[in-house]
Amino acid sequence: MADLMKFVQDEFVEKKDFPAFAAGDTITVYYEIREGEKTRTQFFKGVVIQRRGSGATETFTIRKMSGSIGVERIFPVHLPALQKIELHKVGAVRRARIFYFRELTGKRARIKDKRRF
């Protein structure tokens, strides 16, 4: 059964060239919205809270602040409507899932940049 799942994922799941990102990174996701017969591109910029799953079921959660309200959105990695992902900042966090980030406000809600050489 596992071999069948792997075969189906390899054959039918479309591979896209997205940058490598993890929890704590600030990214912008561009995705296509269909409204009736019209299509338009919308973006969602925020901090990656978590990345979970594997294969065709892999998802990532992004959190942004809209005014004073936090908004989270879950995106499947292999969503056909995803057009591109831009990586803005690489955050230095020690966990793979930063749910504690939800309760932080003000200066505490900043994530340090990872030093890259």
Per-residue pLDDT of the chain (117 residues; tens, 9 = 90+): 778 877 877 777 777 889 999 999 999 999 999 999 999 999 999 999 999 998 778 999 999 999 889 999 999 998 999 999 999 999 999 999 999 999 988 899 899 998 776
Alpha-carbon distances of 93 from 50, 54, 73, 101, 113, rounded to whole Å: 11, 21, 20, 11, 9
Q: Could you give all domains of the chain from N- to C-terminal order, each with its CATH number?
A: 28-101 (2.30.30.790)
pLDDT at 5: 76
pTM score of the predicted model:
0.84
Bridge partners, residue 84, by sequence: 30
Rounded Cα gap, residues 40 and 91, in angstroms: 30
Instruction: Indicate the SS3 state at residue 53.
Output: coil
